[in-house]
């Protein structure tokens, strides 16, 4: 998107009457004012990880049923630190991962170039590795990583039985399981088990606060106390010992307060929205039905034409449909849907009606351009 299109989308989205995917954007001032009204905001700011940072760590540890937890400025840092601790303990840099894991596709090869890790792939198929594949992977291994849900594959989850078998296979080999649970909060519906039961099968769990919870930034790793103790010097080494972080921490606490109980409703409605989108022949949601409140969509329409049509329709009608499409490299578009409270107002018929209108506009533009 150009800067101009981005500003137009932001401005029009603030005035939107209805929003299908994502939420209404706020100004910085609006967010800061809301944070100033947070329950703990009348107290002393944090300094290098104390105060409200410790309040959030305690709360996340309790939610995940782990004895200890540690805040990090980003998940990228949190997971490198955690995997380095497991690697140092095991005396091997080899870590079992999926090649589509965030560390492999979005972090500039940090695992290899900075942390000194050596990724090993039990499978390269576009699905989670199986227990049998982990068992068959040559050793030694320092840890086995599962991303629940796996973002690059449309927020794909395993079944509970597949997950349980995988963690058993890791523990049978004597290696710890690390969960990339950036969106673990919203995975309980599909897995059919509460957070603490999911976390109990893993040895370290990373969670995030700026996806479903609408926070600003930040991550927490929960584990046994000796593991968290070993993370502390690595947090310093990566430059994660930040002087004050209360805005991000208050936002994370607010997100937990306001949204944790809303997630199941969003996941259920994501299924309704995905089924409606699938009625439009140009659209292909995946996975189908979706596993969490987010899922991928491919469109047989060029991204430029689709983005222009979404923006024009929003500016004309006040209705924001699925936006932010990327070129999929094959002449079509790749998009993502995130159902939150705003999306609950859309029935399946609404999704189809507005979608048809926008796709027809995009197709007409595309035909006139070629």
Whichever of 30 and 264 has its CB closer to a copy of itself, that residue is: 30
List CB contacts of 357: < 8 A, sequence separation 6 or more.
313
| Choices 66-74, 285-293, 312-320, 339-347 (CB under 8 A): range interacting with a copy of itself | 66-74
Does 52 help bind a copy of itself (rule: CB under 8 A)?
Answer: yes
* Shortest separation between residue 93's beta carbon and a copy of itself, angstroms: 14
Q: Is the dihedral of CA 284, 278, 291, 345 positive or negative?
A: positive
Whichever of 100 and 277 has its CB closer to a copy of itself, that residue is: 100
Q: What are the counts of helices (DSSP H) followed by strands (DSSP E) for the chain?
A: 15, 13
Phi, psi of 79 (to 5 degrees): -75, -35
Whichever of 137 and 204 has its CB closer to a copy of itself, that residue is: 204
Q: For residues 57 and 51, is the Cβ–Cβ distance under 8 A?
A: no
Whichever of 191 and 212 has its CB closer to a copy of itself, that residue is: 212
Does 257 help bind a copy of itself (rule: CB under 8 A)?
Answer: no
Find the binder of a copy of itself among 36, 105, 258, 364 (CB under 8 A): 36
Q: Is the dihedral of CA 146, 238, 57, 337 positive or negative?
A: negative
Q: 224, 322, 218, 222: which is closest to 274 by C-alpha?
A: 322
User: How far apart (Å, rounded) are the C-alpha atoms in residues 246 and 275?
Assistant: 40
Return the structure tokens found at 4: 């101009």
Find the binder of a copy of itself among 12, 61, 64, 78 (CB under 8 A): 78
- Residue owning tokens 């932010």: 324
* Shortest separation between residue 76's beta carbon and a copy of itself, angstroms: 4
Whichever of 41 and 265 has its CB closer to a copy of itself, that residue is: 41
User: How far apart (Å, rounded) are the C-alpha atoms in residues 333 and 72?
Assistant: 34
Size of the site for a copy of itself (CB under 8 A): 56
Does 258 help bind a copy of itself (rule: CB under 8 A)?
Answer: no
Q: How many angstroms separate the first and last alpha carbons of the chain? A: 21
Does 307 help bind a copy of itself (rule: CB under 8 A)?
Answer: no
User: How far apart (Å, rounded) are the C-alpha atoms in residues 179 and 160?
Assistant: 14
* Shortest separation between residue 137's beta carbon and a copy of itself, angstroms: 26
* Shortest separation between residue 152's beta carbon and a copy of itself, angstroms: 17
Find the binder of a copy of itself among 5, 105, 114, 258 (CB under 8 A): 114
User: How far apart (Å, rounded) are the C-alpha atoms in residues 137 and 122?
Assistant: 6
Q: For residues 74 and 217, is the Cβ–Cβ distance under 8 A?
A: yes
Whichever of 217 and 286 has its CB closer to a copy of itself, that residue is: 217
In the window 227-256, what residues touch a copy of itself (CB under 8 A)? 233-234, 236-248, 250
DSSP-based three-state secondary structure for 145: strand
User: How far apart (Å, rounded) are the C-alpha atoms in residues 226 and 193?
Assistant: 27
Does 44 help bind a copy of itself (rule: CB under 8 A)?
Answer: yes
Find the binder of a copy of itself among 61, 85, 90, 107 (CB under 8 A): 107
Does 363 help bind a copy of itself (rule: CB under 8 A)?
Answer: no
Q: Residues interacting with a copy of itself, by CB under 8 A?
A: 7, 10, 25-29, 31-33, 35-38, 40-45, 52, 72-78, 80, 106-110, 113-115, 210, 216-217, 233-234, 236-248, 250
């Amino acid at each position: 998107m150009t800067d101009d299109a981005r500003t137009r989308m932001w401005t029009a989205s603030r005035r939107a009457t209805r929003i299908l995917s994502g939420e209404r954007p706020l100004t910085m001032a609006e967010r800061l004012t809301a944070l100033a009204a947070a329950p703990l905001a009348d107290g002393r700011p944090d300094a290098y990880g104390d105060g409200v940072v410790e309040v959030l760590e305690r709360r996340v540890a309790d939610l995940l049923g782990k004895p200890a937890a540690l805040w990090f400025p980003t998940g990228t840092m949190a997971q490198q630190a955690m995997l380095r601790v497991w690697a140092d303990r095991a005396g091997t840099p080899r870590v079992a991962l999926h090649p589509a894991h965030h560390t492999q596709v979005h972090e500039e090869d940090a695992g290899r170039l900075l942390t000194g890790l050596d990724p090993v792939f039990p499978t390269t198929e576009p699905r989670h590795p199986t227990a049998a594949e982990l068992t068959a992977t040559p050793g030694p291994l320092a840890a086995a990583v599962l991303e629940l849900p796996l973002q690059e594959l449309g927020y794909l989850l395993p079944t509970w039985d597949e997950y349980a078998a995988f963690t058993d296979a890791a523990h049978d080999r004597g290696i710890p399981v690390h969960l990339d649970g950036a969106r673990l909060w919203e995975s309980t519906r599909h897995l059919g088990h509460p957070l603490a039961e999911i976390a109990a099968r893993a040895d370290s769990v990373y969670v995030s606060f700026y996806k479903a919870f609408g926070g600003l930034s930040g991550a927490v790793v929960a584990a046994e106390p000796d593991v968290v103790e070993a993370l502390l010097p690595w947090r310093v080494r990566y430059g994660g010992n930040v002087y004050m972080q209360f805005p991000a921490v208050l936002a994370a606490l607010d997100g937990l307060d306001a949204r944790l109980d809303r997630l199941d409703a969003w996941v259920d409605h994501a299924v309704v929205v995905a089924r409606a989108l699938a009625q439009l022949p140009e659209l292909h949601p995946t996975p189908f039905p979706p596993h969490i409140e987010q899922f991928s969509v491919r469109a047989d329409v060029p991204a430029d034409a689709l983005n222009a049509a979404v923006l024009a329709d929003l500016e004309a009608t006040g209705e924001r449909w699925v936006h932010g499409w990327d070129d999929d490299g094959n002449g079509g578009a790749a998009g993502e849907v995130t159902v939150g409270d705003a999306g609950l107002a859309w029935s399946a018929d609404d999704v189809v009606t507005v979608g048809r209108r926008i796709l027809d506009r995009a197709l007409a533009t595309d035909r006139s351009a070629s």
